[in-house]
Amino acid sequence: MPAQTAPAGPDATTGSDEDILLPRLRVTGLSAAVLAAPAPPLPEMPDPFGLRTADPEADAQMISEWMNSDLLIHTWNSAWPADRWRRYLAAQLDTGFSRPLILSYDGTTVGYLELYRASRDTISTFYDGDPWDLGLHAAVVARSVMPASGVVDGLTALVEAVFRAEPACRRVMFEPDHRNTPARLICEQVRCQRLGLHHMPTRKIALYAWPRDRDEPPPAYRPLEPPQPAERGAQPSVPTSRTREEEQA
């Protein structure tokens, strides 16, 4: 979410057969306040955007096809068959850790999102967060149906909807791959706070925070490297075609 399939640490959930469905979900060493935080809400976005909870049975095949596309194979590490996606979507909903979402624009399905409880995720070990912090992953597909500003407009509308749906949430977290220049530039365009670079099991991330109160100082964090702005001259990690663009934000 993007899922990590490398061996998980002592805080991760355990499983059998070939996978650990929620390797980033921390289950030990959590405060009572973190454990008391509810499942992420279902935000209500304004038209022309639409948002619904993903259905493990109805949506797994579609999401699997997206994740097996050339770009998302590398950015999401989740090129799984539909059956595993069914189990993964169900696991998110069953634990209350994450809410898988389907994003639409003007009635057309355009992407897959995950709104997760950041305080129960591995990223909570990288910064001083709040029990009600939320995190967001996004794979936007078929951007051609949206205007040029659609991704930024949609992200802004979504974060505002999250804050409306959960008044106790202080910030929304983002953690794109450090090489994903387009996603990082979007985070910086909307004035997210940079919280440094950090190691995940299979990749290095750039951590960002979008605070409810724009005047709130960034939380303390433990960086692998000092925060650096995205390099605008770097090679994009998403295609530039207007017929089919996929981007992780």
Work out the pLDDT band at 203, boundaries 50, 70, 90. Answer: confident
Backbone angles phi, psi at 145, to 5 degrees: -85, -10
The predicted pLDDT at position 14 comes to 40
Domain residue extents for the chain: 32-248
* Rg (the chain; Cα; Å): 17
Backbone angles phi, psi at 138, to 5 degrees: -145, 130
Backbone angles phi, psi at 241, to 5 degrees: -60, 140
With b for 16 or more beta-carbon neighbours within 10 A and e for fewer, the 49-71 pattern comes to bbbeebebeebbebbbebbebeb
The residues pairing with 102 across neighbouring beta strands, listed in sequence order, are: 52, 112
Backbone angles phi, psi at 22, to 5 degrees: -125, 70
Which three-class secondary structure string do you get for 54-78? CCHHHHHHHHHHHHCCHHHHHHHCC
pLDDT digits (tens, 9 = 90+) for 65-115: 999 998 788 878 899 999 999 999 999 999 999 999 999 999 999 999 999
Question: Domain 32-248 in CATH: superfamily?
Answer: Gcn5-related N-acetyltransferase (GNAT) (3.40.630.30)
The predicted pLDDT at position 225 comes to 66
Closest to 21 measured CA to CA, from 89, 114, 109: 89
